[in-house]
Structure formats: structure tokens, C-alpha cells
Structure 1
Amino acid sequence: MGKDSKIYIAGHRGMVGSAVWRALEAKGYTSIVGKTSKELDLRNQQAVIDFIDNYRPDIIIDAAARVGGILANNENPYPFLMENLQIQNNLIDAAHNADVSKFIFLGSSCIYPKFAPQPLKEEYLLTDSLEPTNEWYAIAKIAGVKACEAIRKQYGKDFVSLMPTNLYGPNDNFDLKSSHVLPAMMRKFHEAKPTDASVELWGSGTPMREFLHVDDLAQAVIFAVENKLPEHLYNVGTGTDVTIKELAETIKDIVGHNGVINWDSSKPDGTPRKLMDSSKLQSLGWLPKYSLDKGIRDTYAWFKANQSAYKSVKI
């Protein structure tokens, strides 16, 4: 693949897609394209087929998905299942039929069983039941992983799946009704900071989570673009985790909030622990660069500089 290879990023305006775009441009890639949802509805099979047939990309990076936290998953099980299936299946099948050289499918650590041994290895996929609060999204992503594996097995094509741990960074979703834990905490502490009002957080604070800066994931995607990886599925994480309480205290200190935290233990915790074993990808040469402290500081600086986008939603 040369620097003039035609690269289509599905979901190019989201947190992951925009980070991948920035990273590719920084590496000198000159032919990157993206389409907004108004320009191309990825749920529409014929529209996707027509676009791929006409544009003929060399590489497709699938960073498009309907995503959200526990609340959004619980309240919208059908669209989280069906829309994600539609998006990824349309892209994967169109890429296969158009003989696209390389397809990179991006998923999530939630594909692994709720009580799988820690750290999570790629081979634990489909060995037990999923976390009920996000199984709809997880089942869709598992289907995408298996579709890429099947194409790779049957046709020998370079279709690979990267499963990142919990992501955060610039262009994250800070809407409190649909965001994940880290951006939701950041916004809550930021908006409580002027009066040091108390902040309510869900659960007990005891679950452990691993967090990866989105720019580190973008470098993993570039690594997959520039190398033919020998296996179909790779975890992408840091290898370290923290409790949700530790995460809250870190964000609280970085934001400068001096109030108290009230933990609502009546709300679900989700999976007790999700630490990923990313040794397969790291052994090939990719390594994360961001510490959690630096990543949160950089993300908070970005959040403060982009406040106008989040004023309409109240806590």
C-alpha cells in the first residue's frame, strides 16, 4: 500500500474515525475519503454497494457504529443490535464483492464474556455469556468479527478485526444520556466545579476498567494498514486498569472539583472487570504511548475548548 492508496473511513467524523484520519494525514497519506450519514446512509445496502463500486477504495476502515453507555444500551436494544448489523454487514459484503484489498473492522472489548478470565485473550470469544447491559451491541460486533474471519478463511483476503478497550479522547461523546463512563464523569465534574456541588455517579465504583486514548488506537489502525497481520483478531489496549472510583478521583483532581462524590449503588455496575491481553498486537510492534493521566489532561483541555457543542444538554 502506497501513500496514495485510496482509503475510505466509515464513521470519519466520530471520535475513532477522526483520530484515524488525523493519524493517516500525519503519516502522509493523500487519498482519504469520508461520507457523512446524510451523504451515505450505511444502513442502506444498495447505497453502500453503489458507493464502494464507484469509488473503488483500496482500504476500508470501519469506524462506524451506533454506540453508547449502559443507559443507552439498556433503553435501545433493537437499534443497537440491528443498526450495527446493517452498517457492518453492508460494508463488509460490499468490500468483499468489490475485491477491496484490505478491510479493518473496529469493535469493542464488550464482545468477550462477562466472567471470562482476566486479562481477556482473543481466544475467549464465544466461550460464555455476555454482559446483559450491552449484549445487543456485543452480538452485532461479534457477527462482524466472524464475518471478517470467514472471508479471510474462505477467500484469503486481508480482513482484520481490532478490538479496543474503553476509548476516550478528542471528539468523544459528552452527552450524559448516551456517553461512556469517562466522558460522562468529565462533564459532570466540570459542570459541578463552579459551586463544588456534589456529583452523583452510578454503581459502587468497584469495577475495574482499562482506558485507551483514541490516538493510540489510531496508531494501531495505521499499523494494520501498513502490515499484513497474521491473524484475524487482535485486542488493542494498555494492559493496565483502574477502579471506577480511582478513575473518578483522577478526573475530579484534573478538573479541579472540590465537592463530594455520591455513589448510587442501586444502579448497575456492569462487568466486574475488563482488562485486555494485547500482547499479540504488541509483540508485532504496536505499543500505546499515552499514560491515563496525560490522556485525561489532554482530553479535558480539548473538552474545555469545545464547550459550545455540549451546552444544550443539562445534567
Structure 2
Amino acid sequence: MASGLISPSVAVDGVEYTPAPLDHTATFYVAGHRGLVGSAIVRRLEAAGFTSVVGRVSADLDLKDRDATFAFFAETKPRYVVLAAAKVGGILANSTYPVDFLSDNIRIQTNVIDAAIAHDVERLLFLGSSCIYPKFAPQPIPEDSLLTGHLEPTNDAYAIAKIAGILHIQAARRQYGKAWISAMPTNLYGPHDNFSLRGSHVLPALIRRYDEAARSGAPTVTNWGTGTPRREFLHADDMADACLHLLEHYDGPSQVNVGTGTDVTIKEIAETIAQVTGFAGRTEWDTTKPDGTPQKLLDVSHLTRLGWTAQISLEEGLRRTYAWYQENVEALRD
């Protein structure tokens, strides 16, 4: 299934380069600046001294609207862009609405990237997802596993959209000489996550489920699947730090994996969340529901060679996230 035209294992422009230093006074657009990753990136950029970080909420700028997206770029003229805007969700949402996940994400990506080309954006970082890799990829998953096997069926539509985004970045590098890059994060969590029981990813869904059970005194919590799949989790603040590091230190054609390099079972993460939330009851597992990919651990040796490693431990990150959840639970999405 691999293709030399689109597999990031092939150095499209031959080599990696050291990018030019970033101008901290230049306009820096973060698409999706209110989301889990985007909000963390805004915090990191502002902490690093960037003085012109801009964003727009979806009510003011629908990135699925091509004309509106181009008009925004013409107005703001960003020099740097991080494309963190996306339609995201867990197994249930991806399985139920594959058309939405494919169509919305392709439109968002295409509009932003094409507008960035038209307005000569100097640096752009496209954020994908570890679900781009085959369901049975070698573990840990190296970057060159892309397009070497079948995708996980429960989120294949989302994965295809993100793979298209990687190719779009590579194409911009080839056709226009753009110093643009892609980063593929593992499972992310942290403040501003989606804690919906219907549309969220596994970790925020578990936090909400166990918190509500602890508050109500419920004797049991029931989770999907067997609890045996292994997952890697990265705090959004670590992800934001990695993004800035890549923009400052990496200019190459391959997507770069971003993670911790370690994983835990879903059962282990559920036990930790039960402890953090104070739930003292029993956990049951609905084995009629899908598990998803059996293991998804990223090979982060490329990023390590570039000089970056994660700093926030899983337990510390969970405690921070739960504290934020408790402070904001009334305003969170259903």
C-alpha cells in the first residue's frame, strides 16, 4: 500500500533544514485557539513572548467557508500559522458520523492551507493524529508506517482526512518551497478538552464518568470494551511546547510523532482516574462494545533527536486536568 509519492518516509525535498528564527512580533494565527490543543499553544506562545497571537471563534469565522477563510487571511496577514482546528471525537462519534468527520476536516484543512499559500505564510504547522497509522502497525509506531496497512475502521474517515493534510503540506513544500511541517500527536488531554459522554475521547469521558459516579454515590461504573487496549497519553501543555520546539528546530518533509514514548492499558488509566476522582465503587466492562486498536504507541525517537521530551507525568497531568474540570464543570458541553 505504500507509495513513494506520498509516504513521509521518503524525504520529499531530500534533507531536513534548520528553520529561520521566529519573529516574536509577527502575526501568529492559531486556528482552533479555543480548543484543547489550540488554547495550550496560545498559552505557550504568549509565555514565550509572542506579542501578536490571533484567533477566531467558529461563530466569527467558519473555516469550512472558503471565501470567509481567504478574507480572514487577507485581513490579518499572518506570517505563522498553527492549524489545530478540527472536528474531533471518540469511537462513538467517529463511528456514527464518518461523513461529517471526513468532509468537515478536509474542508477546514484545504481552506486554511490554500489561503496560507495564497497569502505567502512563511511557516505553518499542521496537526494530525496518531490514528493515521495502520491498525496493526509495528509498536512503537515509526513515522514510515504511514500507508503500509489498513486503518482502524472506527475512525478511518477522520484518519483519511488527516492523511490528506499531510500530503497537502508535502505538496506545498514541493510546489512552492514552503518551510511547512506536520506533527502527529498521540492521545491528548488537559484543560479545555471535550468532556461530553457522547462525543469525547476516552480519557475526558472517563474523568466525567467517574466524577459523576463519585458525586452521586453510584456503586458501579461501566466502561466500553475489555480495558485491555494500550494507549499513550500526552498533556496538551507538553504538546504545545513540542509544537513551538518543532517550529524553531525542524524543517523537513516527514510528519513528526509527538508523544511520551510510554503507554498504559485503558483499565490502568480507569483505575488511576477512579483514584483521582475519589470513586470507591466497582468498575465493570461492557465487552459487547468495541475496543478499537489494540495498541497505539508512537515511536518518538525522531522528536527526541530534535531535542524534545515530555515533562508532565500522567498522574500529575490527570490531577491538573481534573482540577480544571471541577472548576469548569457547569460550563462544559453535554
State the TM-score, normalizing by the size of structure 2.
0.92
2:249–2:306 contact (8 Å) kept in structure 1: no
**Alignment partner of 1:53: what SS?**
helix
Aligned mates of 1:115, 1:268 — CA distance in 2: 16
Rounded to whole Å, the distance in 2 between the matches of 1:291 and 1:22 is 19
**TM-fit CA distance, 1:172:** 0.6
Match among 19, 31, 41 for residue 10 of structure 1: 31
Aligned mates of 1:156, 1:287 — CA distance in 2: 29
The answer to whether structure 1 residue 306 and structure 2 residue 331 are counterparts is no
Per-residue Cα deviation, 1:71-126 (whole angstroms, up to 9, x for no partner)? 00111111100000000010111111211001100010000000011111111101
1:270 aligns with 2:270: no
Root-mean-square deviation (Å): 1.0
3-state SS, counterpart of residue 180 of structure 2: strand
> Per-residue deviation at 1:22?
0.4
For residue 288 of structure 1, the aligned residue among 296, 310, 317 is 310
SS of the residue corresponding to residue 162 of structure 1 reads strand
**Within 5 A, what are the aligned runs for 1:213-224?**
213-224=235-246
Is 2:62 the partner of 1:41? yes
CA contact (8 A) 2:84 2:126 kept: yes
What residue number does 1:105 align with? 126
Provide the C-alpha distance between the structure 2 equivalents of 1:280 and 1:216, rounded to a whole number of angstroms: 16
Question: Aligned runs of 1:1-315 on 2, under 5 Å?
Answer: 1-194=22-215, 195-310=217-332, 313=334
Percent identity over paired residues? 54
Q: Check conservation: 2:143, 2:254, Cα contact below 8 A.
A: no
How many Å separate the matches in 2 of 1:191 and 1:281?
A: 38
Write the distance in 2 (CA, Å) between the matches of 1:154 and 1:227: 22
Q: CA deviation at 1:2?
A: 1.5
Code of the aligned partner of 1:244: I
- Tell me, yes or no, if the aligned pair for 2:24 and 2:50 is still in contact at 8 Å: yes
Superposition deviation, residue 196 in structure 1:
4.0
| Number of residue pairs aligned between Structure 1 and Structure 2 | 312
Unaligned runs of 5+ in 1: none
Give structure 1 regions of 4+ aligned residues with deviation exceeding 4 angstroms.
none
Cα distance between partner residues in 2 of 1:131 and 1:303:
30
One-letter code aligned to 1:241: D
Query: SS at 1:167's partner residue?
Result: strand
Query: How far does residue 225 in structure 1 lie from its aligned partner after superposition?
Result: 2.6
**Maintained 8 Å contact 1:118/1:275:** yes
Equivalents in 2 of 1:56, 1:193: separation in Å? 49
Query: TM-score of the superposition, structure 1-length normalised?
Result: 0.97
Is 1:158–1:228's contact at 8 Å kept on the other side of the alignment?
A: no
CA deviation after TM superposition for structure 1 residue 226, in Å: 2.1
